[in-house]
Structures are given as structure tokens and as C-alpha cells.
Amino acid sequence: MKSILFFLAISLTSVGYSQSNKFAPLLVRVMNNNKQPIPFDKIIFKGRTNKKTIVGVTGVNGAFNTTLPVGDIYDVEIDAIGEQLEYNSIEIPKIPDNAEYGVMELFILYDMPEMFTLSNLHFETGKSTIKPSSYASLDQLAEFLIRKRTQKILIAGHTDNVGDAVANNMLSLDRAETVKKYLINKGVPIELLKAKGYGDTKPIADNSAETGRAKNRRTEIHVVK
């Protein structure tokens, strides 16, 4: 989590307001590090004290308007592939009863990582059957792809090196294809999805220990530019 952002834009008024009913208007602009707008991104604000969750989705111009209740710090998250990225925090302090917030602008600059590991995706041992505990993560991925509309991905299956290499390659492909079918059944257009199995050819940890083998048994999502 990055450091706390503090935005303040106050205009004095002649009318008193109840502090509990005050909201701060916010214009949110989301761009990549080349300053290009990012459309159809979901941004989530989570109040630390009031426990409120406010969600906004950027339009084709990479922006949206929202309001945040005053008197709290909000953690800002970006809904990404299979998870939520912690971005920053914004403080909306209380202000006098004879004042109100003017419209503030929040600029979110980031580049989507090119690869994610679906850490909450699990299969039955030695099979391509998805465990029910994985559905929530895959549903979030499906929602992301449907919202993004044109974002293509490669689903890459990997195994450890236990057993026959040919069988491992087939298992990794079957698991990637199973994820692809799940996403299609949730409404993701088939043309956005490609599945590939790598077997045990691309380890990221030492296969001599179970902790390493567990890391190597993974499903990655690669963003296709």
C-alpha cells in the first residue's frame, strides 16, 4: 500500500450542514503510466472506520464521478485479474458545518501487470477438476473480462516434475482448458481466451521439496497485448 493521499477542495457556503450527511464529490481519472486513459476499470474505496465500500467503473474516457462520506480514510483498490490490487489511500477529513467540499480530482496511475498467478485456484489431486473453493476467484476473473470487453488472456497451466513429463504436460493443458471452459460458461467470449499447458518445463521453485513443488503447480494468466 502506498502512502496516504490527502485531497482538499473546500468552498464556504452560507448554509449549515449536518456533518453526518456530508459527502465529498470526487472525479476519478485512471491512466496508465503513459498517461493513456484506462476504460472499464473498477475502482473500490473501502472506509477504514465507517466500513463503507464505494465502487466506481471508468467509462471510455477512463473516468467516473462518485462521492465519499466525510470523516474517514479510504483504502483505494483496483479490481484486477483474479484479485484486487492495493493502490493507495485517500483521507476525507471532517470540515466545519458552514463549509462543503468542492469537486476533487483523484488521478490513479498504474500499469496492469502482464502476468498473474491465480493463487486461489485449486484442482483435485492429479485431475483437472476445479475445487468449489476456487469458484469465487474464477467468477471475479470472468466479471473482469466481461467488463473489459476486449482484453485477451492466455491461461497457462504448470505442474511439478513428479511423474511422467508427457502426462504432466497433458494435465497442465487439461487444467488450463478447464479454466477456459469455466470462463466461457460464465459469459466470457471465447475469442478472448487461449489455453496452453507447459507441464513441468517452467518451474519457479525447487522441485526437490514439497514447498517448491506446490509453487510450481500453478495456473497463470498472461495479459495479451
Give the pLDDT of residue 21. 58
* Cβ atoms of residues 72 and 45 within 8 Å: no
Q: What is the pLDDT along the chain (225 residues), one digit of tens a residue?
A: 344 454 444 443 433 344 445 899 999 999 999 999 999 999 999 999 999 999 999 999 999 999 999 999 999 999 988 677 888 899 999 988 888 888 999 999 998 889 999 989 999 999 999 999 999 999 999 999 999 999 999 999 999 999 999 999 999 999 999 999 999 999 999 999 999 999 999 999 999 999 999 999 999 999 998
DSSP reduced 3-state for 70: coil
DSSP E strands, the chain: 4-6, 10-12, 23-31, 42-47, 53-57, 63-69, 72-79, 84-92, 99-101, 104-109, 115-117, 152-158, 193-197, 218-224
The C-alpha cell that represents 174 in the structure block: 487439461
Which domains, from first to last, does the chain contain? Answer: 4-109 (2.60.40.1120), 115-224 (3.30.1330.60)
Helices 165-185/135-148 angle, 10° precision: 60
Give the pLDDT of residue 2. 42
What is the distance between the alpha carbons of residues 179 and 195, in angstroms, rounded to a whole number?
Answer: 8
